[in-house]
C-alpha cells in the first residue's frame, strides 16, 4: 500500500507522466543484457526449486505454503511485496519534489508490523482462517460482509496495485532501455505468472526473498555512487536547497525547494504532509495494508509458528527503514544534479523533457540510473526494478486467486473437489494477467497523473472503514454483524462522495488560484482518513448497541481477549465447507498434454480429502511459543521500535 500511496502522493506534487518518455539515446551494452538474463535465470531456478519442494496439491499447501515458512523469507517477502516499482518511481519523485517527509510513509510501517505480529496474527491463527474475509465471516456471521470485502479487495488490487506497478515498471524500462512497452510488460507478466501458477505461495515467498536481496543490493550501490557525486549528506543539503531550474514561472515560488525539505514533521495546517496526519492519519491507512490486507497477512499466516511470524514482522520492519536512504534521498540527489529536467516548473519545458506539463519529478530515479550507473551496473539496476515489479505482482496474483477461489468460487460451488479448486485458482491468475495487459493502454492514455490522483483517492477513501471494522472485530466483542455492515456501507458512501469531489476538480498548477471547495482544499486526505475512521467506529458502536449481541459461544478465539480460550466454538457460518474426496480420486486424464500440465502444477500427487480440515486441535495449540524464542522476538521488536523512534526524532 505504501507503494500505491506514495506513488499517488507523488502525483499531487509532481504529476505522473503518462505520455511517451523521451528517448534517452542509451545504447544497451551486452554486459547489461547479460546481467538481466542471469537475473531472469536465477529467478526461474529459485521459482522452480521452491515449486518442486512445496506441497501444491492441497488448498493449504498452495495458498499458505503448507504453514511451513520460517522468519527470514517471510520478512523479505513482506518488504518486497510492498515495495513495487511504483514505490521506486513515486517515492524518489516525491522526495525530489518535496524532501524527506514522504520517507515517513515507510518508517510508519515498523509500528504497524509489530502490531501485526503481536496483536493481529495471534487472533487470525487462533481463528484458523486462510483469508481476511473468512475471518470477518467467522467473527460476525452472515455472507454479505465476506462477499463485499472479497469483491472490494479484488477491485482495489486490479485497479490500483497492479496498474501502478505495471505502469511504473514499464516506464522505467522504456526510459532506460527504450524497449517496446507492450513486449517488455508481456514478457514480465508471463515469467511472473509461470512460477506463481506452478508453485503457489511457497514459490512466491522464496522468489521474493531472492528479489529482496537483489533490490537492496542494487539500490545501495546506486545510493553510494549518487552520494559520492554530491559530497555525502552535508553536500546534499547544500546542493538540494539551491537546485533551481534555469527556466521559472514569473511571480511564483514553485521552482524553489521547500524550506522544510529536510524535516519530517511539517506544519499541521499549511504543510504538504502535516505531522499529525503523517503520525496518526497514515497509521489508519497503514493498519489496513499491513494488518488486514490479504497480500501482506497471507505471508505471516504461512509461518510454521507464531514466533516465526513475529520474527518475519521484525525483519520486515527493519527492511522498511531503508527506502528513506536508498530511494527518497537519491531522488533528492537527482534533483540536485539535474535541476532543469527533474525540477522543471515551466509547462513547455516539462512537456519537452518528460511528456507532461505538470512536472517531471517522477523521472528522478530512472534519470539517476541512466546518468550515473556504469555499464553492467545499469543492467543490475534494471534487474532491481524488475525484481520490485515482479515481486509485488506475484504477491497480488497469489492473494487475489486465494480470495477468488476460497471466498467466492467455493461459496458458489460448495461441493467442488480440491483439485477443481486448485485449477480454478491457477486459471484465475492467468485471467488477471490478461486483464493487466489490457489495462496498459488505459494507463497510457490517462493524462498528467489523473489516474494516479484517482488511485490516491481510492486507497485513502476506501481503506479507513475496513480498518475500523477489523479494529472493532478484534478488540470489542460487543460489535455485531449489523453494526459492522452498516458501518462499512456508511464509510463507503462518505468515502465515495469525497472521491468523486476529488476527481471532479483539478489540482491547481504553479501560479494558479485554488478554486476547489474547502473540504478538498483545506482537509488533507490524511486528516480525512482519521475523520472517516472515527465516523465508521461511531456507526458500528451505535448500531451494535441498538441490536442483539453475538452470544459468547460464537466468539471463542475470534477476539484478542479470547484468543487463548479452550472452549469449543460454534461457528456462526455453519459447518465448514469441505470438498468431495471421492471426486479427487478421479483417474488422470488420457491426454498427455493435460497430464503434463497437471504434473507441472503439482496436481497429480495425493490430495487431502478436505479443504477445511477440522482445525479445533491445531487452533488450540497454535499460539504455543518456546519461551526462549518468545523473549528473543520481544526484545527484537522493542529494539526495532527504539531505532525507529530515534530516526523519527533525528530527522523530525
pLDDT tens-place string over residues 474-492:
999 999 999 999 999 999 9
Buried/exposed 354-371: b ≥16 CB within 10 Å, e otherwise: bbbbbbbbbbbbbbbbbe
What are the pLDDT digits (tens) for 265-283? 888 887 778 888 888 888 9
What are the pLDDT digits (tens) for 207-261? 778 878 888 888 888 899 999 988 888 888 888 888 888 877 766 777 777 788 8
CB 495 within 8 A of CB 536: no
Mean pLDDT of 394-411: 83
Confidence check: pLDDT of 423 > 90: no
Confidence check: pLDDT of 26 > 60: no
Mapped onto helix, strand or coil, the DSSP state of residue 266 is strand
- pLDDT confidence of 635, banded at 50, 70, 90? very high
C-alpha span between 184 and 190 (Å, rounded): 10
- Smallest CA-to-CA distance from 557 within 129, 141, 127 is with 127
- pLDDT confidence of 195, banded at 50, 70, 90? low
Lowest-pLDDT choice from 109-118, 177-186, 539-548: 177-186
Confidence check: pLDDT of 375 > 70: yes
pTM: 0.82
489: left (phi over 0), alpha (psi -120 to 50) or beta: alpha
- pLDDT confidence of 443, banded at 50, 70, 90? low
Mean pLDDT of 81-104: 81
For the chain, the residue count is: 652
- Smallest CA-to-CA distance from 452 within 89, 11, 139 is with 11
573, 576, 580, 585 alpha-carbon torsion, rounded to 10°:
150
Which residue's C-alpha cell is 441498538?
Answer: 546
Number of H helices, E strands in the chain: 32, 0
- Smallest CA-to-CA distance from 1 within 471, 388, 488, 463 is with 463
Confidence check: pLDDT of 326 > 60: yes
C-alpha span between 121 and 306 (Å, rounded): 8
Q: What was the pLDDT predicted at 245? A: 81
Lowest-pLDDT choice from 47-61, 85-99, 328-342, 398-412: 47-61
Confidence check: pLDDT of 638 > 90: yes
Percent of the chain exceeding pLDDT 90 equals: 16
Top-confidence residue, 279 or 2:
279
CB 77 within 8 A of CB 308: no
Q: What was the pLDDT predicted at 583? A: 46
Q: 366: which 3 cell numbers?
A: 530512472
**Residues forming a β-bridge with 266:** 274
C-alpha span between 338 and 330 (Å, rounded): 12
Q: What was the pLDDT predicted at 490? A: 94
Amino acid at each position: 500500500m505504501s507503494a500505491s500511496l506514495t506513488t499517488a502522493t507523488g502525483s499531487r506534487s509532481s504529476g505522473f507522466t503518462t505520455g511517451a518518455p523521451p528517448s534517452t539515446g542509451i545504447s544497451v551494452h551486452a554486459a547489461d543484457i547479460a546481467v538481466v538474463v542471469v537475473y531472469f535465470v536465477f529467478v526461474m531456478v529459485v521459482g522452480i526449486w521452491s515449486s518442486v519442494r512445496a506441497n501444491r496439491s492441497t488448498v493449504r499447501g498452495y495458498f499458505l505454503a503448507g504453514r511451513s515458512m520460517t522468519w527470514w523469507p517471510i520478512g523479505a517477502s513482506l518488504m518486497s511485496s510492498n515495495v513495487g516499482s511504483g514505490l521506486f518511481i513515486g517515492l524518489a519523485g516525491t522526495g525530489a519534489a518535496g524532501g524527506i517527509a514522504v520517507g515517513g510513509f515507510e518508517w510508519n510501517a515498523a509500528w504497524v508490523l509489530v502490531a501485526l505480529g503481536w496483536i493481529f496474527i495471534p487472533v487470525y491463527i487462533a481463528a484458523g482462517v486462510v483469508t481476511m474475509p473468512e475471518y470477518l465471516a467467522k467473527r460476525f456471521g452472515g455472507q454479505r460482509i465476506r462477499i463485499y470485502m472479497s469483491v472490494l479487495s479484488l477491485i482495489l488490487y486490479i485497479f490500483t496495485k497492479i496498474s501502478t506497478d505495471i505502469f511504473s515498471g514499464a516506464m522505467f524500462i522504456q526510459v532506460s532501455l527504450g524497449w517496446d512497452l507492450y513486449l517488455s510488460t508481456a514478457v514480465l507478466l508471463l515469467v511472473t505468472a509461470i512460477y506463481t501458477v506452478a508453485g503457489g505461495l511457497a514459490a512466491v515467498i522464496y522468489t521474493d526473498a531472492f528479489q529482496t536481496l537483489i533490490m537492496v543490493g542494487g539500490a545501495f550501490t546506486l545510493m553510494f555512487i549518487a552520494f559520492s557525486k554530491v559530497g555525502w549528506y552535508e553536500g546534499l543539503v547544500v546542493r538540494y536547497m539551491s537546485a533551481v531550474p534555469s527556466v521559472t514561472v514569473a511571480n511564483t515560488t514553485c521552482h524553489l525547494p521547500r524550506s522544510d525539505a529536510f524535516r519530517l514533521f511539517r506544519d499541521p495546517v499549511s504543510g504538504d504532509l502535516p505531522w499529525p496526519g503523517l503520525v496518526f492519519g497514515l497509521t489508519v491507512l497503514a493498519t489496513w495494508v499491513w494488518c488486514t490486507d490479504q497480500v501482506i497477512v497471507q505471508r505471516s499466516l504461512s509461518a510454521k509458528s507464531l514466533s516465526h511470524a513475529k520474527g518475519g514482522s521484525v525483519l520486515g520492519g527493519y527492511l522498511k527503514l531503508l527506502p528513506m536512504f536508498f530511494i527518497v534521498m537519491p531522488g533528492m540527489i537527482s534533483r540536485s544534479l539535474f535541476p532543469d529536467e527533474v525540477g522543471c516548473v515551466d509547462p513547455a519545458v516539462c512537456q519537452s523533457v518528460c511528456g507532461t506539463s505538470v512536472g517531471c519529478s517522477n523521472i528522478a530515479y530512472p534519470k539517476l540510473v541512466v546518468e550515473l550507473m556504469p555499464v553492467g551496473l545499469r543492467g543490475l539496476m534494471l534487474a532491481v526494478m524488475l525484481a520490485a515489479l515482479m515481486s509485488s505482482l506475484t504477491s497480488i496474483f497469489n492473494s487475489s486467486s486465494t480470495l477468488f477461489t476460497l471466498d467466492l468460487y467455493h461459496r458458489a460451488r460448495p461441493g467442488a473437489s480440491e483439485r477443481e479448486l486448485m485449477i480454478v485458482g491457477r486459471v484465475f491468475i492467468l485471467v488477471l494477467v490478461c486483464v493487466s495487459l489490457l489495462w496498459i493502454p488505459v494507463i497510457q492514455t490517462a493524462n498528467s497523473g489523473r489516474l494516479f490522483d484517482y488511485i490516491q483517492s481510492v486507497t485513502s477513501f476506501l481503506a479507513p472503514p475496513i480498518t475500523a471494522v477489523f479494529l472493532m472485530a478484534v478488540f470489542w466483542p460487543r460489535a455485531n454483524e449489523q453494526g459492522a455492515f452498516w458501518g462499512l456501507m456508511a464509510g463507503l458512501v462518505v468515502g465515495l462522495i469525497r472521491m468523486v469531489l476529488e476527481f471532479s476538480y483539478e489540482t491547481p498548477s504553479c501560479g494558479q488560484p485554488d478554486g476547489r471547495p474547502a473540504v478538498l482544499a483545506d482537509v488533507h486526505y490524511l486528516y480525512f482518513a482519521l475523520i472517516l475512521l472515527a465516523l465508521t467506529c461511531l456507526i458500528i458502536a451505535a448500531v451494535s448497541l441498538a441490536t442483539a449481541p453475538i452470544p459468547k459461544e460464537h466468539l471463542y478465539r475470534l477476539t484478542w481477549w479470547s484468543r487463548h480460550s479452550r472452549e469449543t466454538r460454534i461457528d456462526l457460518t455453519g459447518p465448514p465447507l469441505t470438498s468431495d474426496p471421492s471426486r479427487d480420486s478421479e483417474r488422470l486424464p488420457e491426454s498427455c498434454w493435460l497430464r503434463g500440465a497437471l504434473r507441472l502444477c503439482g496436481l497429480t500427487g495425493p490430495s487431502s480429502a478436505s479443504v477445511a480440515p477440522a482445525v479445533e486441535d491445531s487452533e488450540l495449540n497454535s499460539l504455543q511459543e518456546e519461551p526462549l524464542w518468545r523473549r528473543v522476538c520481544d526484545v527484537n521488536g522493542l529494539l526495532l521500535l527504539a531505532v525507529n523512534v530515534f530516526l523519527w526524532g533525528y530527522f523530525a
